[in-house]
């Protein structure tokens, strides 16, 4: 499938400089792209490739100044990186629309409802009263438990398991191996030292526009719902415990874990390998540095924290500077003690 520079510019609200009829059929990195491919330039450190690349079309920032002639057709936009992401999304949507139908073998309960233009891959299981809305793609080896709802144009990648009663919104993407709705980790200690399991009868709700990476686990609520709000982006290998709430457009990097009933605000950024205890609140706009351990609520919006236990990022940097200076400070203290001792000896002589 080919697109001309004029067609691409229309999709991303760009301005063509060069031959508007130049066509491309695939994408390439600017340093490796060949004739017939489209590339983009957003990072200035790759600017040298703008003049040597073989790409036929290049998306660049409208502020880009040319230091020498460029062979490729340029499409100038306000933000090249965002425009390229938009273009990839549109391309992906076009390709997905071609994938429809139900492969065999699958199991679809008689009470399940499947919408129009849906794809269901082989060896998938759709339980009682499952609803799969229009345009959804369910890839092979997927399990959808009883009463699960899948929204419009949502993509469930291979091997995903979604337990009973969970609700997935529109335009959600869940990557391979992720488990949604497993039991929360709840046990009541008994007098004899044993642990009695607390039944987990809630569910998980994933709102619109969420993306969840591979091999993540999001546990169902004990009562009520574990909630991932619209626009949140969750990386691979995460653990989200029962009754957690993750706010709108928040981002969580790989190998992080959030304990039960913690409420993460909107537009929060959580780095990799962060651990957050249960029953606390993280204010809107908070930034948590990688490998931090958060042991108490963060109440001030737009805070930045680091360390374990995590505390103010700027204060932490000052502490690190002070720590690095300790050997020199110790030497100065010893010198001062020596001078003071000599002064005292002379005074007492």
Distance CA 236, CA 253 (A): 7
| CA of residue 60 relative to chain centroid, distance | 26
Name the active-site residue from 157, 164, 242, 279: 242
Contacts of 112 (CB under 8 A, 6+ apart): 126, 127, 128, 129, 130, 131, 132
| CA of residue 70 relative to chain centroid, distance | 36
| Of residues 265, 278, 147, 250, the one with CA closest to residue 203 | 147
Distance CA 103, CA 119 (A): 8
Distance CA 47, CA 342 (A): 64
Q: Is 40 helix (H, G, I), strand (E, B) or coil?
A: strand
Q: Are 115 and 96 in contact (CB under 8 A)?
A: no
Which two tokens mark 315?
Answer: 């204060």
Which two tokens mark 157?
Answer: 């990648």
Distance CA 97, CA 28 (A): 23
Query: Does the annotation mark 279 as catalytic?
Result: no
Angle between helices 313-324 and 326-348 (to 10 degrees): 50
Where in the sequence numbering do the catalytic residues fall?
Answer: 242
């Amino acid at each position: 499938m080919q697109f001309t520079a004029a067609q691409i510019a229309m999709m991303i609200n760009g301005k063509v400089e060069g031959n508007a009829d130049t066509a491309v059929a695939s994408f390439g990195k600017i340093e490796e792209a060949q004739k017939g491919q489209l590339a983009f330039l957003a990072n200035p450190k790759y600017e040298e490739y703008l003049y040597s690349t073989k790409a036929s079309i290049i998306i660049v920032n409208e502020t880009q100044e040319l230091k020498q002639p460029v062979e490729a057709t340029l499409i100038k936009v306000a933000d090249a990186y965002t425009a390229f992401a938009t273009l990839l999304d549109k391309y992906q949507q076009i390709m997905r629309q071609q994938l429809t139908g139900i492969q065999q073998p699958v199991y679809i309960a008689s009470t399940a409802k499947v919408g129009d233009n849906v794809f269901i891959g082989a060896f998938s299981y759709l339980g009682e009263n499952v609803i799969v809305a229009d345009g959804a793609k369910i890839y092979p080896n997927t399990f959808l438990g009883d009463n699960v709802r899948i929204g419009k144009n949502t993509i469930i990648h291979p091997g995903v398991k979604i337990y009973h009663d969970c609700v997935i919104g529109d335009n959600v993407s869940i990557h391979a191996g992720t488990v949604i709705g497993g039991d929360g980790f709840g046990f009541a200690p008994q007098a004899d030292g044993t642990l009695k399991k607390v039944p987990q009868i809630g569910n998980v709700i994933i709102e619109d526009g969420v993306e969840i990476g591979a091999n993540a686990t999001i546990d169902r609520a004990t009562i009520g719902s574990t909630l991932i709000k619209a626009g949140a982006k969750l990386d691979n290998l995460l653990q989200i415990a029962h009754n957690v709430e993750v706010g709108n457009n928040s981002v969580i990097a790989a190998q992080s874990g959030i304990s039960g009933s913690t409420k993460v605000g909107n537009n929060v950024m959580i780095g990799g390998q962060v651990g957050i205890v249960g029953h606390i609140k993280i204010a809107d706009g908070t930034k948590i540095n990688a490998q931090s351990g958060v042991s108490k609520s963060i109440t001030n919006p737009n805070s930045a924290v680091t360390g374990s236990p995590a505390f103010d990022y700027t204060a932490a940097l000052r502490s690190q500077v002070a720590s690095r200076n300790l050997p020199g400070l110790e030497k100065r203290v010893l010198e001062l003690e020596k001078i003071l001792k000599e002064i005292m000896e002379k005074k007492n002589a």
